[in-house]
Structure 1
Amino acid sequence: MISKLKGRIDTYGPDWVVIDVNGVGYHCFCSTKTLSVLPAAGEFGELFTEMLVSQDMIRLVGFATQGEREWFKLLQTVQGVGTKVALALLSTLSTAELAQAIALQDKAMVARAPGVGPKVAQRIVSELKDKAPAFAPADPALAKLQAEIGGPKPTAASDAVSALVNLGYGQSQAGAAVSAAMRKAGDDAATEQLIRLALKELALA
């Protein structure tokens, strides 16, 4: 099992890279986000990898971080999500955005990825809602906000998210902005203050 490669970047393609490790070229399929952070051809780089073995071929998929690799594996536990769709998702959304979209059940954000229709997006947010938190970046404010949104009683934070959604912002986008506002204003901030701060965050985005 090949889990990591470190060597000289040989050539790039639209969704792959060849990395030369001691004279052996390894062809790795990658998300566009991973390809964008790798060094130029001729320079040294490294990839975390997942080796996929099927009846007729062996493929390597490369990742910039271990977190991206874990998300790739997690996504493929959902029916209808294969290598191509998982890489499309990781090309469209960062792992933090993906975790947030699943936590907030924002299937529209997930469906932005090419090849991901409404039904597959719904399955992803539904089936991974209990698994995704283990892969999400540590953000106490966002975790608290997500708990409040799903709680029995409205809170200042959930009311602020609702207000932003009514203004036309996406659920995930609104959640991230209110999370940032909570970090600045504190847990006891009023709804109006959170909305004002969140709108400033959205204006800077």
Structure 2
Amino acid sequence: LGGGIAWEMAALQPELIEHLVPIAADWRSTDWLIANCRVQEQILNNSKDPVHDARMYAMLCYRTPAAFRDRFERTVNDDLGIFNVESWLLHHGTKLRDRFSLEAYKMNNQLLKTIDIGRDGPEGFEAIKQSKINIHIIGVNSDLFFTIKENRETFNELAEAGCEITYGEINSKNGHDAFLIEFEQLTELLYLLFKSPRKVRNNKKQRTES
């Protein structure tokens, strides 16, 4: 959500921003993300334990099947008599329920579903293209919410428009949450970025493959 809000802020007032670094984000919500937010809406509106249950579902989307397999390997929590993956989901549900109100979770979900700097027309994206912002997109190769295909498409379009832009990628099986887990990769990308930011000006050789 934070990356989407950063895109929105850049479109509204580009003159205030020197560096825009959206990580595991894009300037509009994907259809997959919108669909998952809708499922969470149903849970939030109908569950007897809405924040807990919505969070359990959301954790499936923040990670990947491969990450679950490697972490849990069908092991069992002997104390609870359930699989460890179930115990993990229940833990995250309880943890967020203790920190978030239902109203706050609903607002968070609505904002996530409606990220789109082009909702009122092309002016938002054009403002980005015409700005002097240094844009540094960082994607996650296994992200289900904001896919690298769409991240690369955004990079290519802005690069061809002459924007000062770079693209980096975190390689991980951990899905969207990889940017919270793969600290070494993210640190290296950010270090290289601010040590010597690479500018792209109408250089088609910098295109990434979508």
Calculate the TM-score normalised by the size of structure 2.
Answer: 0.24
Calculate the TM-score normalised by the size of structure 1.
Answer: 0.25
More strand by share: 1
More helix by share: 2
